Structure formats: structure tokens, C-alpha cells
Structure 1
């Protein structure tokens, strides 16, 4: 019986250690996003800063200086921005985990809104702050939507997709997109560069996420 208890304890200890390691990676990734968001905010013109404050106030219906989860959900449902109606995005934005966002925390949310970094794993449906994998066929073949999954779901094969799918990490997609932009005719180059803009954001913080790309 004692041996069983020890074995069970060892398994639990391993699981807790794994969870703590994953939590540290996510924390580092979010800290990088916060730093980027703050840097962008500091360089915004005064009129754009006022616009961000106006957006914050529009979310903060009861004018208590913070955005609750219900206010958050109500705002994005009203705006029909379905990509943001995920609790994992709201939870990731909060630094002190008190269930609401003050303006400093909302800067990150507003930055993500503008930059297109609100990427949700299509397997576990969690917000991906760091590196992730995309189906290259869906990405480059003009599919209606991309198929993006987090490192954990990809590494653990915890997803279902079409047969023969080839998955690439952000760095690879960035490199391939750059090559496509260089090779594209001048009149189409702007569209290709627009595609690069969408993937450059998360790729830049892949190292901070601690995700090892094979």
C-alpha cells in the first residue's frame, strides 16, 4: 500500500510540475505582449490615445474605472466581434487575476484588437499568447479561415483536421510569406505584405512563450 501511495504521489508531483512550467511559459508570453502594447501606446499620437480611452469607457458601462467580464462580453457581442468572445482572452489580459480589467490592463486588450493577435486554438479553444502552428494549406490556399492550434495540442496530437495537412510554426510561415512577397508581381505585393503583417505579431514573441519548434 505504501508503494502505491508513493507512486501516486510521484505522478501527482510530476503533473503539478508540468502545470507550473506551462503556467510560467504563458506568463512570460503575456509579459512580452504587455511590454509591446505599452511601447505602442507610448508612441501613439494624442488623438489615438483619446480614442483608446473612449473605447475603454464604452466598455465600462457602470463607470467604475474597470471592465468586468459581463461588460466585456456585452461589448463584443454588440460589436459582433465573435473572435473576442472567449473567456480565455479576457482572463489572459488581467495581470492581477481579480476578474476585471483596469485601463493599464485594457491597453493590452486594445492592442490585441488592433494588431490581430486574438488567436484562439481551434482544438482547446484557448487564447494563444505565444507561438502556435497553422495548417499551411489553409493559410496559403485562400481558405475561409485558418486552422491554428497551440503547441500543446499540436505536440500531443490533440486535434482533428483534414488528411495530409502540413503544419508550420510562425517563423516558417513568416519566412515563406516573405519569399512570396518578394516573388509576387508589384501589383499584388501589397496583398501579400498584408498577410505577413497578420503573422508577424505572434511570431515575434515565440521565444518568450517557451515553445520549442521542431
Structure 2
């Protein structure tokens, strides 16, 4: 969880002033009784309002000092996880995935309209405590991101737009926007559909 806390702090420090105000507004909106902190009931109510998945295990993880409430610094970590797509749970044990985890590469690179992925914690993956499609290849989240690069660079230029659209849906990394994924901003990343699916996570 400390890794995510550090990432959230760096993310917040680099936000434009307007977005920092939005983060403060979100905190104030969540703080229904205006006592300067978020309790579990306020957290649940706020997330349910927009049909977000409510993760009690995430609230516990966010509460760094264990006092049962979130101050603004702790709530910034929640803001970051929601904005960046890092609010991911294990599909098996339903715990919040704060560190390394394993993802089904076929689900990750699925090019239909679905944005869902199949993610499991290291304990569930290592202990085979999950059920998923037979024959699917799993990669840890860091390897999946790194392995995505090689086939992208080797592919024909004419299929660039298609893979960029796949990446826009699949890669939920803090601070990445649609404009960041334009070829002029990423050094001409290119790929083809076949190459993306053959992502070659050979270390598994």
C-alpha cells in the first residue's frame, strides 16, 4: 500500500490547480457531517451514489493511522485510485490489490467493447485459488505493461489507430489521457491485432 501512497502523493503534487480544487471538492462532498474526515458510512454512501464498487477492504487500507476515518491526505489516495483505475480487487478473494497482482492477458487485450479484466492477487494465483478460462496466460501487472511494448513497436504502421484504441480502453494508468496516446506523443507506437494478442509473456 505504501507504493500506492507514494504514487498518489506524486500524482496530486503534479495536478493543475483546478484539478487540486476538484480533489478538495470531492473530499468535502464526501464529508457529509463536515468534521474534516471521512468515516466508513460516508465513504460507502459516496461510492454508492455513482454506482461505484464499494470495497470495505480499500477503506481499511486507506486508513493509514487506523483511527477509523480518512483525513484529506488519506482521501487523496482514494481519489488517485478512482481517477487512475487502481481500485482493483482480486476476482477470487475480493481483496484490494495494492501491490503486484496477476492479470489474464487475453482479457486485458480483448478488443471488443468490454473493459473488464480478470485480476487475482499473488496468493490466489500462486495457490491456484481461482477459476477462469482454461489455457489463458497470466502475467503480473508490471510484466504485462512491459511486454506490451515489444510487439507494439514491431507491428505495421497501418494498424496504429486500432491498437491505440485498444490501449485507451485497457491501460488505466494514472495521468494518461487520450491525447497522451496520440502517435506524436508516444514516439510513434504502432502495432497490429495479431501481434497484440501474441503478447509473449514467456516468463510465466
Contact persistence 2:111–2:166 (CA under 8 A): no
Point out where structure 1 has 5 or more consecutive residues left out of the alignment.
Answer: 1-29, 202-212
Q: How many matched pairs? A: 172
1:190 to 117, 140, 164: 164
TM-score by length of 2: 0.76
**CA distance 1:195–1:78, shift in 2 (3 Å):** closer
Single out whichever of 176-185 and 126-135 deviates more from structure 2.
176-185
1:164 to 121, 135, 138: 135
SS state at 1:88 partner:
helix
Q: Counterparts of 1:27-42 in structure 2 under 5 Å? A: 30-42=1-13
Going by fraction, where is helix more abundant, 1 or 2? 1
Aligned to 1:135: 104
CA distance in 2, matches of 1:196, 1:176: 14
**CA distance 1:137–1:197, shift in 2 (3 Å):** closer
TM-score by length of 1: 0.73
**CA distance 1:111–1:129, shift in 2 (3 Å):** same
Contact persistence 2:108–2:170 (CA under 8 A): no
CA distance in 2, matches of 1:186, 1:177: 14
SS state at 2:79 partner:
helix
2:118 to 141, 144, 147: 147
Matched, 1:121 2:95: no
**CA distance 1:174–1:200, shift in 2 (3 Å):** farther
Q: 1:146-181 CA deviation, whole Å, 9 max, x = no partner? A: 110000000111111122222111133113322343
Deviation at 1:189, TM superposition (A): 4.2
SS state at 1:62 partner:
coil
**CA distance 1:41–1:200, shift in 2 (3 Å):** closer
CA distance in 1, matches of 2:174, 2:18: 26
Aligned to 1:72: 43
Aligned to 1:9: none
CA distance in 2, matches of 1:200, 1:77: 23
Structure possessing the higher radius of gyration over alpha carbons: 1
Q: 1:163-211 CA deviation, whole Å, 9 max, x = no partner? A: 222211113311332234332623224324425642689xxxxxxxxxx
Contact persistence 1:134–1:146 (CA under 8 A): yes
Matched, 1:51 2:22: yes
SS state at 1:146 partner:
coil
Point out where structure 2 has 5 or more consecutive residues left out of the alignment.
Answer: 176-202
CA distance in 1, matches of 2:65, 2:79: 18
Q: How well do the aligned residues superpose, as a CA RMSD in angstroms?
A: 2.2
